[in-house]
Chain A
Amino acid sequence: MTSTRQPVAEGLFTWPPTPSEPPRLIGSECTACGLVSFPAAADCVRCGGQDPKERLLADRGTLWTYTTQNFRPPSPPYDGPEAFEPYAVGYIELPGELLVEARLTEADPHRLRIGQPMRLTLVPYTVRDDGTEAVTFAFTPAEERAS
């Protein structure tokens, strides 16, 4: 059976992912000054430029900092499941691009560390009334790569 999955928002990440084309975050790059933004921004916050081009961001980075979410956030705006499972969030440094905030797949703070290699993944974070799974981006601990 194939469940219906939909991204939480259009234009956040490439969709649908395939084995040959894993997901990537969709950012933007200012054509005037080169500043990279996520989510894609029409206006550059460095130079005020208004002519961005799309840029797929790196799918690997390192954990810059993190915290956990141990209580269910107020709804609205949160529309996750009523049965709350703690999750973690963090900023991942994508070298040469930016630091991006994301949910982390590992919720135990003692299994996370600053500097840890992370890679992008997609996670279903809630099920809509019509049975559709809403999918968002997250980062997951990655194996250390030999340098």
Chain B
Amino acid sequence: MTEAVIIGVGLHPFGRFPGKPALDMGADAVRLALADAGVNWPQIQGGYIGSYEVANPDAIVGRLGLTGVPLRGVFNGCATAGTAIALAARAIETGEHDLTIAIGLDKHPRGAFAADPSVAGIPSWYGQTGLFLTTHFFGMKINRYMHDHGISHETLARVAAKNFGNAAANEKAWRRTPLTPEEILASPVLNYPLRQYMYCGPDEGAAAIVLCRADQAHKYTQKPVRVRSTALRSRRLGAFEVQSPSFPVGEIVESPTVDASRAAYERAGIGPQDVDVAQLQDTDAGSEIIHMAENGLCKDGEQERLIAEGATGIGGRLPVNTDGGLLGNGEPIGASGLRQIHEIVLQLRGTAGTRQIPGTPRVGYTHLYGAPGVSAVTILST
């Protein structure tokens, strides 16, 4: 089977852009990715595009060129971009296309996501009575995890401070003001134990990734980044997930992140010990802590010591969310995972500027998690 490699990445800044449609942000990101790859839009043979807010993201061809390219819309909640990159890579691996693109774009209104519970197959009373909030799940999951594994409130604050600090070094990030752990711990509680500055916010942005066959990469770049594996898993019965009015007792099983992670490592022939830099879904500071373990990067409870030692900082032995993560960048759902891929590609190329991790990183890891219990993992290498 042919291998897919990344030859171009493009990122529209994440944040608030009044008056600028999501499709325009997406078109900007695509043009940046095409320029980075040194190819033109008419050369793209196929692609996958994801969005939550834009019903027809494939309308982007009206801005890029009506070439007749098959551009398929995809959506898997917060794992949407994981799906887009996986399918764009698969189209090359199976020989369908030689040159593909993955695109993500979104433009969310301010404030917490609000929707009718029926979109998740849940009765109306769940929303009417104030239970239909994804932030509840994140508060409850980390509260239980802290109880079981000895994680402190200070560790939550250190994670947020690290990500805001990394975002300050990222000119395309949204939240670029560094905050100290003390300032974070002084912010109001939103959902105990999580505070205002421990949550990411929905925002706007776009990203695009150009891929080609590995055996043709020399035509475009000296530093292709290999797509070693992609995996997506949904929740299994008994897993504790977003938007679950109940779940079975005595059947608690591992999260879809554990399932997706194991599948991705196995397919890549790469283990957690080989990962040089990781981008993990940090919807909140607690999620980053839990996802370190769920992705095999440490044991449950080890985070307390690792984070205190600075292991997940840019100079540490396992840098996590070097571009500021979701905390620093916010979450335009369709684009978020491609923002992660963009950052890993910069790190593996050695072009991440002041946030470049030391040494010669060879393996990068990205992870998404979202409602109603879906995870996507992508493993990249030089």
Give the residue name and chain of the B residue nearest to A27 (CB).
B246
Q: Which residues of A contact B193 (CB under 8 A)?
A: 67, 109
- On whether the beta carbons of A67 and B128 are closer than 8 Å, the reply is no
Contact mask A75-95 → B, CB, 8 Å, 1/0? 111111000000111110111
Flag whether A99 is at the interface (Cβ < 8 A).
yes
Q: What is the CA–CA distance of A59 and B189 in the complex, to the nearest angstrom?
A: 30
Is there contact, CB below 8 Å, between A79 and B128? yes
Residue of B nearest to A68 (CB): B192
Asked whether, in the complex, the Cβ of A74 is within 8 Å of the Cβ of B249, the reply is no
Interface membership of B70, Cβ < 8 A: no
* CB atoms of B248 and A35 under 8 A apart: yes
For A69, give its contact among B127, B188, B191, B244 (CB under 8 Å): B191
24 pairs, CB–CB < 8 Å, chain A vs chain B: A8-B128, A9-B125, A35-B248, A36-B248, A38-B245, A46-B248, A65-B143, A69-B133, A69-B191, A70-B192, A71-B112, A71-B190, A74-B113, A77-B117, A78-B127, A79-B128, A87-B130, A98-B246, A98-B249, A100-B246, A103-B130, A114-B144, A114-B147, A134-B128
Q: How far is the CB of A121 from chain B (nearest CB, A)?
A: 14
For B244, list chain A residues within 8 Å (CB): 101
A45 located at the interface, meaning its Cβ lies under 8 Å from any Cβ of chain B in the complex = yes
Residues of A in contact (CB 8 Å), total 48
Give Cα distance in the complex from A64 to B240, angstroms: 11
Tell me how far the C-beta of B195 lies from the nearest C-beta in chain A, rounded to whole angstroms: 10
Report the minimal beta-carbon distance from B236 to chain A, rounded to whole angstroms. 10
Check B179 for interface membership: any CB of A closer than 8 A: no
> Is B56 interfacial (CB-CB < 8 Å)?
no
Q: Is the CB of B130 within 8 A of A70?
A: no
Tell me the nearest residue of chain A to B145, going by C-beta: A65
- Inter-subunit contact A78/B128 (CB<8 Å): yes
**0 or 1 for each of A48-79: is its CB under 8 Å from B? (1 = yes):** 00000000000000001111111101111111
Q: Which of B125, B130, B250 has the most CB of A within 10 A?
A: B130
A residues bordering B, Cβ < 8 Å? 8-9, 12, 27, 35-39, 45-46, 64-71, 73-80, 87-91, 93-103, 109, 114, 125, 134, 136
B330 to chain A, nearest CB (A): 17
**Residues of chain B with a CB closer than 8 A to A94's CB:** 249
For B, the interface residue count at a CB cutoff of 8 angstroms equals: 40
Which 9 residue pairs spanning A and B have beta carbons closest together? A77-B127, A67-B139, A74-B114, A65-B144, A109-B192, A9-B125, A68-B192, A38-B246, A67-B191
Contact with A along B246-267 (1 / 0, CB 8 A): 1111100000000000000000
Contact of A103 with B129 at beta-carbon distance under 8 Å, contacts A46-B237, A67-B139, A70-B188 already known = yes
A12 cross-chain contacts in B, Cβ below 8 A? 125
- Residue from the list A46, A77, A87 in contact with B116, Cβ < 8 A: A77
Separation of A66 and B116 alpha carbons in the complex (Å): 23
Residue of B nearest to A10 (CB): B125
In the complex, the answer to whether A73 meets B245 with C-beta atoms within 8 Å is no
- CB within 8 Å of A: which of B185-200? 188-194
Give complex CA distance A133, B143 in Å: 32
Are the CB atoms of A67 and B130 closer together than 8 Å? Answer: no
> How far is the CB of A122 from the nearest CB of chain B, in Å?
12
Given A27-B246, A90-B140, 6 other A-B residues pairs in contact with their CB atoms under 8 A: A39-B123, A67-B191, A70-B192, A98-B249, A99-B248, A136-B129
Contact between chains at A95 and B249 (CB < 8 Å): yes
Please tell me if the beta carbons of B128 and A37 are within 8 angstroms of each other in the complex: no
What separation, in Å, do the CA atoms of A73 and B192 have in the docked complex? 15
Interface string of B126-150 (1 = CB under 8 A from A): 0111111100100111011001000
A99-B246, A101-B244 given as contacts; is B237 within 8 A of A45 (CB)? yes
CB distance B130 to A98 under 8 Å? no
A114 cross-chain contacts in B, Cβ below 8 A: 143-144, 147
Contact B112 A73 (CB under 8 A): yes
In the complex, the answer to whether B191 meets A99 with C-beta atoms within 8 Å is no
In the complex, the chain A residue whose C-beta lies closest to that of B128 is A79
Most chain B CB within 10 A, of A27, A70, A114, A136, is at A70
Is residue B115 within 8 Å, beta carbon to beta carbon, of the partner chain? yes
The CA-CA distance from A88 to B249 in the complex, in Å, is 22
